[in-house]
Amino acid sequence: MKRNRYVCLLLLAALCLALSGCRTRTTGGAQYQPESGDGRAETALSGALLSDGADEREKSGETNGRTKENPEASRKEYDENAPAEIVPGAERVLHGAGEGGGAFAEGQDAAASADKLNGDAEKTATQTVAAEQAEEMGISEDAREADSALTYYTVLLKERTGSLFECQRLNAYWETAADHVTVFKTSPEHAVILGAGAYDVSARLLRENLRVDDGWIGRKDPGVVVKAVDGGALGAGVFSSSAAQKIYAGLLARDGWSAMDAVRNGRVLLISEELLNSPSMQTAAMLMIAKIAYPALMDDVEIDKALGMLAEEATGSVPSGVFYYTGPGGNDL
């Protein structure tokens, strides 16, 4: 009876040792599978058990593959020579120098991928450009003269309006030649507003809802009002501002407009529709809006001179006519 009991205990102990994996270490070779399309190798870490002959390789020290985790082990074991690093608390796994389907990225591609992963980075980034490029853009202290008027005034606008804090930027309402009709966010007019350092109050309107009323405009309380007018009031060949004066007076007489920030501070601008016909003329329009919105920033910019230079560069001739009107009480451009 006692002998049978001892045999049972021995069998039980042997069974427990067989089932125990506390000291088991499984090592397998890395499996490489080519990515579809570019032929680059993707490293796959398999959780399979040892293939035939793995025990012999481990005993002989030939463990060239990655060490894999044994889920039954009491402690985890990793190959310290593996090409990946385990970082506690990491939100995403990095493959090589960057990310992208597990493929190892090299050179500039790797740097570009890695740049996207730092969630703690400052929101503002500083771009460094080559000296030659800085000179061409006119942004280095010893830069040579800009090669065109368009380049010169484009850089000037970015530099001046780029110094504004968000709270300093004014909201602008743009009205087309048709009364109470504003512009869509993909329009050239919208781009002109942004280029002048302002915000477009109609940016969230749908394309079919661009007709607004004075109540809507008043609630937006824009800091700048820009109205484009046709060639009968402003533009080439127009040498009298009488038509523009009537349009301007009509705007100020609208219901509730006298209380708007733009009207109270003389920031209402009429411009010719011709200023939307080319990038050079659109830049001239940006300068006009920026100067009426931020006179201190643009104090040294002569609008008539800039308009003449931009127009001559684009068309080969200096324009003749009245292209903008700020009203008798507005800021002189």
- Over residues 93-108, the pLDDT tens digits come to 343 333 333 333 344 4
Cα four-point dihedral sign 204, 217, 167, 198: positive
Q: Do 186 and 104 fall within a single domain?
A: no
Tell me whether residue 9 is in a domain: no
Listed residue (164, 150, 136) closest to 286, CA to CA: 150
User: Same structural domain for residues 197 and 321?
Assistant: yes
Tokens of 219: 């609630």
In a domain, 226, yes or no: yes
Are both 276 and 173 inside the same structural domain?
Answer: yes
pLDDT value, residue 43: 35
Same domain, 202 and 313: yes
Query: Does 31 fall in a domain?
Result: no
**Tokens coding 26:** 């499984």
Q: Are residues 246 and 300 in the same domain?
A: yes
- Total domain count for the chain? 2
CA dist 214 → 26, 225, 245, 306 (Å)? 77, 13, 20, 34
In a domain, 64, yes or no: yes
Could you tell me the end-to-end alpha-carbon distance of the chain, in angstroms, rounded to an integer?
115
Whether residues 64 and 213 fall in one domain: no
| Residue 107 placed within a domain | yes
pLDDT in tens, 224-279: 999 999 999 999 999 999 999 999 999 999 999 999 999 999 999 999 999 999 99
Is residue 41 in a domain? no
Of the candidates 114, 140, 161, which is a domain's last residue?
Answer: 114
Residue 290 within any structural domain of the chain: yes
Q: What single letter denotes the amino acid at residue 183?
A: V
pLDDT at 102: 37
Phi-psi region of 309 (alpha: psi -120 to 50; beta: other; left: phi over 0): alpha
Name the residue range of residue 58's domain: 52-114
Mean pLDDT for back-to-back runs of 10 residues, the chain (333 residues): 62 60 42 40 36 45 50 56 51 39 39 38 41 45 70 96 96 98 97 98 96 97 98 94 96 97 96 96 98 96 96 91 85 62
Task: Please check whether residues 86 and 207 belong to one and the same domain.
Answer: no
Q: What is the pLDDT of residue 134?
A: 47
Whether 281 and 153 map to the same domain: the answer is: yes
Rounded CA-CA distance 295/315 in Å is 29
Q: What is the CATH number of the domain that holds 205?
A: 3.40.50.1980
Domain boundary among 70, 93, 114: 114
Say if residue 208 is in the same domain as residue 253: yes
Please tell me whether residues 282 and 168 are part of one structural domain. yes
Whether residue 137 contacts residue 155, with contact meaning beta carbons closer than 8 Å, is answered with yes
Is residue 88 in some structural domain?
yes
153 and 94 co-located in one domain: no
Task: Tell me if 225 sits within 8 A of 172, measured CB to CB.
Answer: yes
